[in-house]
Amino acid sequence: MLQTTLTLPMKYRTVIVLHYFYDLKVNELSSVLDLNTNTVKTRLSRGRDILRRKIKSKEGDVL
């Protein structure tokens, strides 16, 4: 998963890594990154969607 995460665009990778690997909450991410809370939520959502598609496409390659 980490290797796939590293292929994300930087703005999504940053929030994904800080949220899931460093356990920062959305409001903490907002403060640390100096972003609006809704921006953080959007980036987390889009980052998860990108990861989901990448993982599914890799599963298809294996099968």
Question: Hey, what domains does the chain have and what are their CATH numbers?
Answer: 2-52 (1.10.10.10)
Write down the pLDDT at residue 60. 72
Provide the pLDDT confidence category of residue 62 given band limits of 50, 70 and 90: low
What is the CB neighbour count within 10 angstroms for residue 29?
Answer: 21
CA 29 to chain centre: 12
Write down the pLDDT at residue 22. 97
4-8, 29-33, 35-39: least confident range: 4-8
Tokens 């940053």 locate to 14
> Percent of the chain beyond pLDDT 90?
76
* Mean pLDDT, residues 12-36: 97
CA 63 to chain centre: 26
**In contact, 57 and 14? CB cutoff 8 Å:** no
How high does pLDDT run on average in the chain?
Answer: 92
Q: pTM, whole model, 2 decimals?
A: 0.86
Tokens 């991410």 locate to 29
